[in-house]
Amino acid sequence: GENVEQHPSTLSVQEGDSAVIKCTYSDSASNYFPWYKQELGKRPQLIIDIRSNVGEKKDQRIAVTLNKTAKHFSLHITETQPEDSAVYFCAASKSSGTYKYIFGTGTRLKVLA
């Protein structure tokens, strides 16, 4: 069935370094790819998203890239700060046929001060 693989499951970086999280999706009809940040015990919150007609999107220190041919997309966080420490989830969805919104398994990011 359709799935979204997310790597790595845990990631530790030094404050100020960059962090990259990668997701691969299986359904080539997927056309919307959001990223959510979830702090401990809190709700997931959208931090950035990208649609299939765009290859890259940036918002300050956060960027997402999409490679439709390879069916993968990545989250890039530059100049990491301790408050970036959280679990990050990617997701892939599509608007045609049976609606699906599939989340990756999450990446626990730890930014070391």
Nearer to another protein, 77 or 87 (CB): 87
Complex with another protein: residue 14 or 53, whichever CB lies closer: 53
Q: Least distance to another protein from the beta carbon of 103, Å?
A: 4
- Distance, in Å, from the CA atom of 18 to the CA atom of 20, rounded to the nearest integer, reads 7
Nearer Cβ to another protein (2/63): 2
Nearer to another protein by Cβ, of 31 and 78: the residue is 31
Give the residues lining the site for another protein (CB under 8 A): 31-32, 34, 36, 42-46, 49, 51, 89, 93-95, 98-106
H-run or E-run covering 19: strand 19-25
> Please, what is the minimum distance in Å from the beta carbon of residue 37 to another protein?
11
Q: Are 33 and 49 in contact (CB under 8 A)?
A: yes
**Contact by Cβ (8 Å): 17, 80:** yes
Q: Residue 95 CB, nearest distance to another protein (Å)? A: 4
CB 42 to another protein: min, Å? 8
The b-or-e profile of 2-23 (16+ CB within 10 A means b, else e) is eebebeeeebebeeeeebbbbb
The token pair at 111 is 């930014």
